[in-house]
Amino acid sequence: MKKRKCQNFFERMKVLGKRAVLAADAAVNTAAMAVCLIFAAYAAYVFWDTRTLYQKADSVVYESYKPQADADSFSELKAVNPEVFGWLTVYGTEIDYPLTQADNNSKYVNTDAKGAYSLSGSLFLDCNNASDFSDFNSIIYGHHMQEDTMFGELDKFAEEDFFEEHQYGSLYFDGADHGIEIFAFFYADAYDSVVYNTGITKKSDRQSFLDRLKEQAEQYRETGVTSQDHIVLLSTCTSDDTNGRILLAARISSENFEDPFQSEKQEQKNKTADSGYEIAALYKLPVWCYFFFLLLISLGLMIMLKRKRRNGS
């Protein structure tokens, strides 16, 4: 009798132990699943937020507003934001954006060309420059971003082949297009009082400025630029140095240069439209869709865990 009771006791303990192990296993699995879901949800949000940032910074966003002789597209953008005054295009790159100017150099660091808050900001002319580019040295600033948005391609000009292949661009202001002829790529400190001087007036100072650019240039092209010309600097930051800046120098010309990449750009647009539609559609999904997918995954994992516990019992 005592022996049977002892056996029953041990059998009950064995069952209880098995149930405890299963319960502990289920708890661990549930906790692991919860952690995975939290990380997955965070990753989905980061992905969505990053995509949204770069989509808003893409030059395609403003393409419909680009100045056209037979359209009021640019006027429509100016009606949205009166501080839009021009347009910059660097041929063969994705730099094709409206230009803004405020009474300070902080506003458009995190404000887009439509006047809305945006971490990608906008391309903007130094607040001390004249908007008709009549100064000797005019400076346009923009963020250095990935995916070739804003001024993210300026560092490509460090390569000799890229520099030699991309010589021209267009600058629209005062209701007319003007050509820009790129002649120097160089690095500078953000607090360089010579490079970032918008008030150069003396002829000797202008020549000293040009000599400094040539001396400092990583890439340079002889274009016959003189102290009588008007210069525009495209300036962006670099990830290598907190105060480091990447700059591209160009001469403003009354001559309009032909875009040698026009047909290539159109072909690329057509190719992207044909092959990238599904991916673009995925990027444009609202954030709740990603969380809905995560919910489905979590439900699937929960069902698997329940089946596992049943099989184990």
- Whether 160 maps to a domain, the answer reads yes
Regarding whether 304 and 254 lie in a shared domain, the answer is: no
- Specify the pLDDT at position 54: 46
- In whole angstroms, give the CA distance from residue 124 to residue 108: 7
Average pLDDT, the chain: 83
Q: Is the model's pLDDT at 256 over the cut of 60?
A: yes
Regarding whether 217 and 76 lie in a shared domain, the answer is: yes
Please give the torsion angle defined by the CA atoms of residues 147, 148, 151 and 157, in that order, rounded to the nearest 10 degrees. Answer: 130
Q: Work out the number of other CB atoms within 10 angstroms of the CB of residue 167.
A: 18
Range of the domain at 206: 64-270
- Whether 281 maps to a domain, the answer reads no
Min mean pLDDT across 130-134, 254-258, 292-296 is at 292-296
Q: Is the model's pLDDT at 292 over the cut of 50?
A: yes
By percentage, how much of the chain surpasses pLDDT 70? Answer: 66
- Whether 157 maps to a domain, the answer reads yes
Quickly state the pLDDT bin for 154 (edges 50, 70, 90): very high
- In whole angstroms, give the CA distance from residue 293 to residue 286: 12
Min mean pLDDT across 169-173, 268-272, 273-277, 283-287 is at 273-277
Q: Structurally, how many domains does the chain consist of? A: 2
pLDDT tens digits for 87-100?
999 999 999 999 99
Higher-pLDDT residue of 257, 21:
257
- In whole angstroms, give the CA distance from residue 100 to residue 111: 10
Regarding whether 306 and 179 lie in a shared domain, the answer is: no
CATH code at 98? 2.40.260.10
Min mean pLDDT across 10-14, 39-43, 209-213 is at 39-43
Quickly state the pLDDT bin for 48 (edges 50, 70, 90): very low
